[in-house]
Amino acid sequence: MTQKICTRCLREQPLTEFHNHSYSKDGLSNECKSCRRERAIEYDRNNKETKKKAFKRWYELNKETLQAKKKDYYRDYYRLHAEEKIAKARKWVQDNPEKARENSRRRAERRIARKNALIYDLTVEQWERTLDVFDFRCAYCGIDSGKLQQEHFIPVLMGGGYTLGNIIPACHRCNVRKGSKDPKDWLAEDKYGEIQERIAAITG
- Same domain, yes or no, for 36 and 78? no
CA angle 55, 59, 61 (to 5 degrees): 120
- Catalogue the long-range contacts made by 102-105 (C-beta closer than 8 Å, 24 or more residues apart): 102/149, 102/172, 102/175
Residues of the chain with pLDDT below 70 are 115
Domain limits at 111? 103-203
Task: Please give the sequence-ordered ranges of beta strands (E in DSSP) within 111-182, or none if there are none.
Answer: 149-152, 167-170
* One-character DSSP codes across 79-104: HHHHHHHHHHHHHHHHH-HHHHHHHH
Query: Does the pTM exceed 0.95?
Result: no
- Same domain, yes or no, for 182 and 122? yes
- Same domain, yes or no, for 42 and 127? no
- Same domain, yes or no, for 135 and 159? yes
What CATH number does the domain containing 151 carry? 1.10.30
Amino acid at 52: K
- Same domain, yes or no, for 59 and 76? yes
- Same domain, yes or no, for 85 and 109? no
pLDDT at 115: 62
Return d(Cα 56, Cα 63) in angstroms, integer: 10
CA angle 34, 35, 37 (to 5 degrees): 65
Segment 154-170, tens digit of pLDDT: 998 888 989 999 999 99
pLDDT at 104: 84
CB atoms within 10 A of CB 52: 10
pLDDT at 60: 93
- Same domain, yes or no, for 125 and 165? yes
- Same domain, yes or no, for 122 and 172? yes
Provide the CB-side half-sphere exposure for 3 (13 A, CA).
Answer: 5
Number of domain units in the chain: 3
Return d(Cα 100, Cα 132) in angstroms, integer: 26
Which of residues 29, 61, 95 is at a domain's end?
Answer: 95
Segment 113-166, tens digit of pLDDT: 776 778 888 999 999 999 999 999 999 999 987 789 999 999 988 889 899 999
- Same domain, yes or no, for 195 and 114? yes
- Same domain, yes or no, for 42 and 56? no
Contacts of residue 109, defined as CB under 8 A and 6 or more positions apart, other chains included, come to 152, 156, 162
- Same domain, yes or no, for 114 and 151? yes
8 A C-beta contact, residue 126 and residue 150: no
Torsions phi, psi for 198 (to 5 deg): -65, -40
- Same domain, yes or no, for 113 and 199? yes
